[in-house]
């Protein structure tokens, strides 16, 4: 249930973003790694996916893999907290160690440039465009190949795990 598109997204590495703690940065430090970019929310029925995302982070981080979390409040207000509240929730409830970034819009007029690039990629059914819900996943290989997974695909899904393993640089 996956579809990959060969797209070079160098601009996602250059787009300015802030960490959850407010530091200005870009994704440049993650260039050349396998990335799983996920829009996350603390008050969603899919929030328990944080546990699986953290497990993936721990299992593969030594092989050039990183999960990148982007809180988003665009889906029924399911990420209402401040940056500090989000950080506390993620660390105390799920032990999240992967990088978390500022709350952003993943759709619409205020869509962050990173997501403008990512949402151009079609999913397994050939549908590109807006993020459908919280916990949509974009696997970006070290060479820029992207595979899009809709929110209902769990982090432990065998197809997703196999795709991650196939993209690991180490």
- Taking CA atoms, 57 is separated from 10, 37, 61, 92, 95, in Å, by 23, 12, 5, 17, 11
Question: 33 and 168 in contact (C-beta within 8 Å)?
Answer: no
pLDDT of the residue at 9: 47
Instruction: Dump pLDDT digits (tens) for 135-163.
Output: 999 999 999 889 999 999 999 999 999 99
44 counts as catalytic: yes
Catalytic residue (one of 20, 40, 41, 44) = 44
All structural domains of the chain with their residue ranges: 4-167
| Digit-coded pLDDT (tens) for 3-48 | 444 444 448 999 999 999 999 999 999 999 999 999 999 999 999 9
- Indicate the DSSP class of residue 19: B
How is domain 4-167 classified at the architecture level of CATH? Answer: 3-Layer(aba) Sandwich (3.40)
Radius of gyration of the chain (CA): 14
The pTM of the full predicted model, rounded to 2 decimals, is 0.93
pLDDT at residue number 11: 80
**pLDDT for 55-113, tens place per residue?**
999 999 999 999 999 999 999 999 999 999 999 999 999 999 999 999 999 999 999 99
Under the banding of pLDDT at 50, 70 and 90, the label for residue 124 is confident
pLDDT the model gives residue 2:
44
């Amino acid at each position: 249930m996956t579809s990959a598109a060969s797209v070079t997204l160098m601009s996602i590495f250059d787009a300015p973003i802030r960490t959850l703690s407010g530091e200005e940065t870009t994704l440049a430090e993650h260039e050349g790694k396998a990335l799983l970019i996920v829009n996350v929310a603390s008050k969603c029925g899919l929030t328990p996916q944080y546990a699986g995302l953290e497990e993936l982070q721990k299992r593969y981080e030594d092989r050039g893999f990183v999960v990148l979390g982007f809180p988003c409040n665009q889906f029924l207000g399911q990420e209402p907290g401040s940056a500090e509240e989000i950080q506390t929730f993620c660390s105390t409830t799920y032990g999240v160690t992967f990088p978390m970034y500022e709350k952003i819009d993943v759709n619409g007029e205020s869509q962050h440039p990173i997501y403008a690039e990512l949402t151009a990629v079609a999913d397994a059914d050939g549908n590109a465009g807006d993020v459908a819900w919280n916990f949509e996943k974009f696997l970006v290989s070290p060479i820029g190949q992207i595979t899009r997974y809709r929110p209902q695909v769990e982090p432990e899904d065998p197809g997703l795990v196999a795709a991650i393993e196939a993209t690991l640089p180490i």
